[in-house]
Amino acid sequence: MDIASTANPDLKTSISFTVAAAPYIPASDVSPLSYKVRKIGHFLCYAGSALFLLLFLFTAFRRDHGYFFLSIGTSLTEGFLLACLGEGIQLFIPKRTASWWDIGIDFSGVALGVLIVALIFFLIDLHSKKKAPVEPSIEPKKKD
């Protein structure tokens, strides 16, 4: 691509781009550490995704306990469908395969994220019940 200056047409420069595909690396050449790091990364990303989705849904429903269980179910379903979608996309990429094992790793991350949020809200609810103010009962004194 040639670029010329509008102020000085004699100034010209040339830019070239080269796009090349990365070479395919067979699974046998990938180190076990690299494999584990990628799986842990997927696990944590899905846990974070579920954590934030459940926080959003629960605060959107204003901490109504009836909707809390609906929010948990929605988060788990969304996480499972997202994991399936991610693996399904790999079926259409050359030299990639989908795996139920990967879906299980991703979904267990989702379950951990949901469990963390549910535990946090359970502890908050438990703590707020302990600190609930007790209203003193004022009864008129009996005259003897």
What mean pLDDT comes out for the span 2-6? 66
Q: What pLDDT was estimated at residue 21?
A: 66
Q: What pLDDT was estimated at residue 85?
A: 96
Q: Is 97 exposed, middle or buried (0-12, 13-18, 19+ CB in 10 A)?
A: exposed
Q: What pLDDT was estimated at residue 106?
A: 95
**Sequence ranges of the domains in the chain:** 31-130
Report how far residue 70's alpha carbon sits from residue 87's, in angstroms, rounded to the nearest whole number. Answer: 26
Residue 63 dihedral angles phi and psi, to the nearest 5° = 55, 35
DSSP letter for 9, please. Answer: T
Q: Kindly report whether the global pTM for this prediction surpasses the value 0.75.
A: no
Report how far residue 68's alpha carbon sits from residue 55's, in angstroms, rounded to the nearest whole number. Answer: 10
